[in-house]
Amino acid sequence: MSMLILAHSLTQAHYMTKEEKNKLTRDALRHWYENHQEEYCNFTDLMHDRRGIGFDQVFKTAIMLVPKYEKALLLYLKNDRSEGIEDLEKILTDGGLKDQLALHFRAQMPDCIVPAMLSWLFFGRSFECMVEYGEELIQDGKLNFLLRRLASFNIKTIINRSLTIGARKEEDWVKFVSEMEDMGITPVVTAGVVAKFKSIPTETKVEMKSTSEKKPIPGKEKKRRSLKELLPNSDEYLLGSIDEHIHIKQSGKDLALLYLVLEKSRSLTNTSVVEFHAALEQRYEKKPNIRIPGHRGIQDNLKMLLTPTTITKKSGVEVPCMTFERPEYMFAYNDLVEKLGVQDYAYSC
C-alpha cells in the first residue's frame, strides 16, 4: 500500500510548472527514453512484477531523497482516519523532491532508477499499472479493511488526476476496464469511476455500472486457450523446449522475444499478448521457480523490439529496420529460433 501511495505522489510531482520544466524538460526525458530502451524496459519489468518489487524500489528512492517521508507515510497507514494524501505530497514538495530528481536525472549515476522512473511516469503505462495494482490489493483477502479502503481512494484519485492533466482520456479507462475483465480480474472501483464519466455512451455507462456491482470471485477467470492450443502444430519437443527456456529466462524482455520468435515463425496462432501471457501463467502456476511477470511488461518490451530504427552499414548507408533486427538483439533472436526449432512448426491459415 505504501508503494502505491508513493508512486501516486510521484506522478503528481512530475507534471511540472513551466519554470520546473526548464530544469527537467519533456524533451530531455524523451531523448533518454529513446536511447535507453533496454534500461527502460528492465524498469517496467519491475513495475509490472506482481510482487511489487518495482514499487518497493520507487519507495526506497523517495525516502533516500526525502527521509521525512518514511515516518509520515507509516503514520498515515496506521491512522484509521486517513483519507487524502495532500499532506504526504506536501512533505515531498517541501523536501525538494523535484529538484533532487532533476539532479539525479542529470547525473545519471550507475544503478540509479530515477531516469527510468521519470520516463515511465511520462511515457509509460504508469497510471494503468498503479490502478491495476490497487485493484489487486483490494481483492487480496489478507489485507484489512483500512488498507483496502485506502487503495480504493487512491485508484479514484489516480484516474481523475490522469484526466485532469490530460495524460489519459475517458475512453482509455473504458478500454482498461475491458482489458482487466479479459484477464479475469473484476476492477470494481475503476468501473465505478468510469460509470460516472460524462462523455461515454449510456450503454457503456450501464456496462461499467454492472461491472462495479459485481462481487469478484477470487481465482475465477475466463476460459482461455492453453499454450498448446496457441501453438497449433506443437508437440512435446517444442513445449519442452519452451519450458526449458522459460525456466532460465522469464523476464518481460525474455518473454517478449519468445512471443516475437513464435509469432514471426508462424508457430503461434493469431492471439494477443494478453492471452499469450494468460496461457503462460496457466502453464507455470504450479512451478515455484517460475514467476511470469505482468502482461504489460511483455507488451512494453515487445513495443521496444518492434520500434522502427536504422542500421548503419560499413558503406555508411543507413538501412531501415526494426529494433530486434539490430545486431545486439538479432543474436538472441536467432539463438532462440534455433533452440526451439520453430521452423518445423509453422501453420497454415
Give the mean pLDDT of 279-308: 87
Least confident of 64-73, 218-227, 326-335: 218-227
User: 297 and 252 in contact (C-beta within 8 Å)?
Assistant: yes
Question: Is the pLDDT assigned to residue 219 strictly greater than 50?
Answer: no
Q: What is the pLDDT of residue 74?
A: 81
pLDDT band at 246 (very low <50, low <70, confident <90, very high): very high
Could you tell me the pLDDT band of residue 95, with boundaries at 50, 70 and 90?
confident
Runs of H (alpha helix) within 168-288: 170-182, 188-194, 202-212, 227-230, 236-248, 252-264, 273-284
The answer to whether the beta carbons of residues 274 and 295 sit under 8 Å apart is: yes
**Average pLDDT value over all residues in the chain:** 82
The share of the chain scoring above pLDDT 70, in percent, equals 87
Spatial distance between the Cα atoms of 66 and 75, rounded to a whole number of angstroms: 16
Measured distance CA(14)–CA(35) in Å, rounded: 21
Is the full-model pTM beyond 0.75?
no
Cell numbers at residue 212, please? 462495479
The residue among 96, 130, 101 whose CA lies nearest residue 115 is 101
3-state secondary structure of 77: helix
Q: What is the pLDDT of residue 349?
A: 45
Asked if the model's pLDDT at residue 6 lies above 50, the reply is yes
What number is the average pLDDT over the span 289-316?
A: 84
Q: What is the phi/psi pair of residue 50, to 5°?
A: -65, -20
Q: Give tens-digit pLDDT for 15-40.
A: 445 555 545 567 788 888 888 888 88
Q: CA-to-CA distance for 90 and 67, rounded, in angstroms?
A: 13
CA angle 216, 295, 33 (to 5 degrees): 130
Query: What is the model's pLDDT at position 209?
Result: 86
Long-range contacts from 324-332, C-beta under 8 angstroms, 24+ separation: 324/257, 324/260, 329/257, 329/305, 332/257
Provide the pLDDT confidence category of residue 4 given band limits of 50, 70 and 90: low
Three-state secondary structure call for residue 310: strand
Q: What is the pLDDT of residues 52-83, one digit of tens each?
A: 788 888 888 888 888 888 888 888 877 777 66
- E strand or H helix at 346, and its extent? none
DSSP label of 324: G
* pLDDT beyond 80 at 297: yes
Could you tell me the pLDDT band of residue 135, with boundaries at 50, 70 and 90?
confident
Cell 543474436 sits at which residue?
Answer: 331
At 211, the pLDDT band (50, 70, 90 cuts) reads confident
Q: What does 122-146 look like in DSSP terms, one character per residue? A: HHSSHHHHHHHHHHHHHT-TTS-HH
